[in-house]
Amino acid sequence: VKGTGSAGRITDEDVERAAAAPTDPIAPPVPPAASPARPAGVTAATADGEVERVPVSHLRKVIAGAMRTSKQTSAHVTHVEEADVTELFAHYRAVKAEVEAGGGRFTLLPFFIKALVTVLKDYPIFNASVDEAAAEILLKKYYNIGIAVDTPEGLIVPVIKGADRKDMLQLADEITDLAGRARERRLGLDELKGGTCTITNIGPLGGVFATPIINQPELAIIGLHKIQDRPVVVDGEIVVRKMMYLSVSFDHRWIDGAEGARFMTDLGGLISHPGLLMARL
């Protein structure tokens, strides 16, 4: 808990903010923020009973339009892979305290960004868009990773530009900054554009896995799901490991299912073997 009182003393408010923060180590930090006032509704009677008519916000209209366009544009397919993150979690826990001693917050998300960028270099079709008018696929040589942020007013996707050129500490700082300003609605328009592939972290909210919708004009979106201790068979013995599901939703018009399976197998391999990931950086 970081104190904000006189001479760095910890106040009751500091404790309450820390208690309200998410515990999932993958999640972008959630800065404390007051909930926005609910739009004023109008109560009306219908033949079936009373309803409240609440105005749709501008952001929700934008999100609704983007979701409809994506579903109408892309042939969505989702492939799910399982990863054993026991070693990755142990490595993360070993360095977390030392890294955070310098300030800021360090989560698992930078590891996943680095693993994704590494695999995107091997499978460039997942880091691409399509110019249908010119009948051309645009394989992008830069790696701008969108990070879906759940805000009180709706989903916002800020973009980390040049993720391949930043180390994990730089990524952690940028995630904190972008996520915080996204929730405060202080992002510039340029910080929401230019993404080449997106990550959405659904794990803190629960569930087994989900089928995210592609962020147009990208061709793929990666879903990170909850980490939990589960019994698995390792070398013929039942042991408890930290397991998670990874998903990719991709546009089946341009990406074949076999390519999606290979992509996710390699991504899961890097996540399960952090030593191999470090060797590839």
* Confidence at residue 39, expressed as pLDDT on a 0 to 100 scale: 61
Question: Where do we find the tokens 């919708």?
Answer: 213
Is pLDDT of 22 > 90? no
pTM of the model: 0.84
Q: Where are the alpha helices (DSSP H) in the chain?
A: 12-20, 58-73, 86-100, 109-122, 168-183, 257-272, 274-280
* Confidence at residue 18, expressed as pLDDT on a 0 to 100 scale: 60
Mean pLDDT of 99-118: 94
CB count, 10 Å around CB of 266?
Answer: 16
Is pLDDT of 34 > 50? no
Question: Where do we find the tokens 């219908």?
Answer: 46
Side chain identity, residue 207: G
* Confidence at residue 23, expressed as pLDDT on a 0 to 100 scale: 53
Catalytic pick among 76, 91, 252, 273? 252
End-to-end CA distance of the chain: 33
CB count, 10 Å around CB of 34?
Answer: 6
Element housing 245 (H / E) = strand 237-251
58 noted as active-site residue: no
Asked if residues 146 and 159 have their Cβ atoms less than 8 Å apart, the reply is yes
Is pLDDT of 31 > 50? no
Q: Give the residue from 207, 242, 199, 197 showing the smallest Cα distance to 224.
A: 199
* Confidence at residue 10, expressed as pLDDT on a 0 to 100 scale: 63
Is pLDDT of 15 > 80? no
